[in-house]
Amino acid sequence: MELQGKVALVTGAGSGIGRAIAAAFAREGAQVIVHDLREEAAEVAQAIGGTFLRADLSDAEQTRRLGQQAVAWRGRVDILVNNAGYQHIDPIETFPDDEWQRMIQVMLVAPFLLSKAVIAGMKAARWGRIINIASIHGLVASPFKSAYISAKHGLIGLTRTAALELGEYGITVNAICPAYVRTPLVESQIADQARTRGIPEQDVVAQVMLEPAAIKRLIEPAEVADLALFLASERARSMTGGAYTIDLGWTAR
């Protein structure tokens, strides 16, 4: 098993991509900390033999405490997957100020704070993996997602900077940039996308989510988990600072 004995923290692991990554890591022998805002995620942790930690990542103090608790569980965190996130869709002129700031906190500030919490242990072990789940929207833009896109662009910048700082310690830092994945988060966007674009809900997937793609289907969470597992393994020890796309051909244009 590729991750036997490793300790992994996966944020937003109660559903979707995070859940798939947590399960894949556990199958490969990792001891997994399942983080989520929702208490129901404790069932996910129980199912994979891990532990559950709840924290609101929009709160900096709760985020710092999560990092401390994760390190304390087994004395270190070997693999950090910054996955937690959500979307709010609105034009810039009507985007609520507090919502914009909260999204930046969850998807950019929290990964920074959690990385700070685990780096010392990784340096001591001369081994570590930080995997940031960005998005194709960390590389390109779409309308009505100013906070999400700003956070994801920033997360790729953080990924690259951390990779340069930490490479000499055997720590790799990479980002995964998927297009639309079949998750509850994506499904919850359909009504908002229809509202902001003035189209029927049944047209959102074809006209918005898949229109730029060469492969006309949603990505499955397990596909993202497969790449995360590879990046966490010894096979990817020479790969760092990358922003790896799973984008159905979106950026081939």
CA 222 to chain centre: 14
- What is the value of pTM for the model shown? 0.94
Query: 16 pLDDT band (50/70/90 cuts)?
Result: very high
What is the set of active-site residues?
A: 148
| Residue 116, token pair as written in the block | 């700070």
Query: 115 pLDDT band (50/70/90 cuts)?
Result: very high
Whether the predicted pLDDT of 205 surpasses 80: no
DSSP 219: B
Q: Can you list the positions of beta strands (E) in 112-192?
A: 128-133, 171-178
Instruction: State residue 175's pLDDT score.
Output: 98
As a whole number, the mean pLDDT across the chain is: 95
Query: 201 pLDDT band (50/70/90 cuts)?
Result: confident
199 with 209: CB under 8 angstroms?
no
At the top level of CATH, the class of 7-179+220-247 is alpha beta
What is the tens place of the pLDDT at every residue in 26-39?
999 999 999 999 99
Average pLDDT of the residues in 198-211: 81
Average pLDDT of the residues in 227-238: 98
Residues 6+ apart with CB under 8 A from 91: 143, 144, 196
Query: 209 pLDDT band (50/70/90 cuts)?
Result: confident
Domain boundaries, the chain: 7-179+220-247
- Strand bridging mode 171-178 / 51-54: unpaired
| Residue 244, token pair as written in the block | 């790896």
Whether the predicted pLDDT of 190 surpasses 80: no
Average pLDDT of the residues in 129-148: 96
Whether the predicted pLDDT of 71 surpasses 80: yes
Whether the predicted pLDDT of 198 surpasses 90: no
What is the tens place of the pLDDT at every residue in 142-164?
999 999 999 999 999 999 999 99
Instruction: State residue 184's pLDDT score.
Output: 81
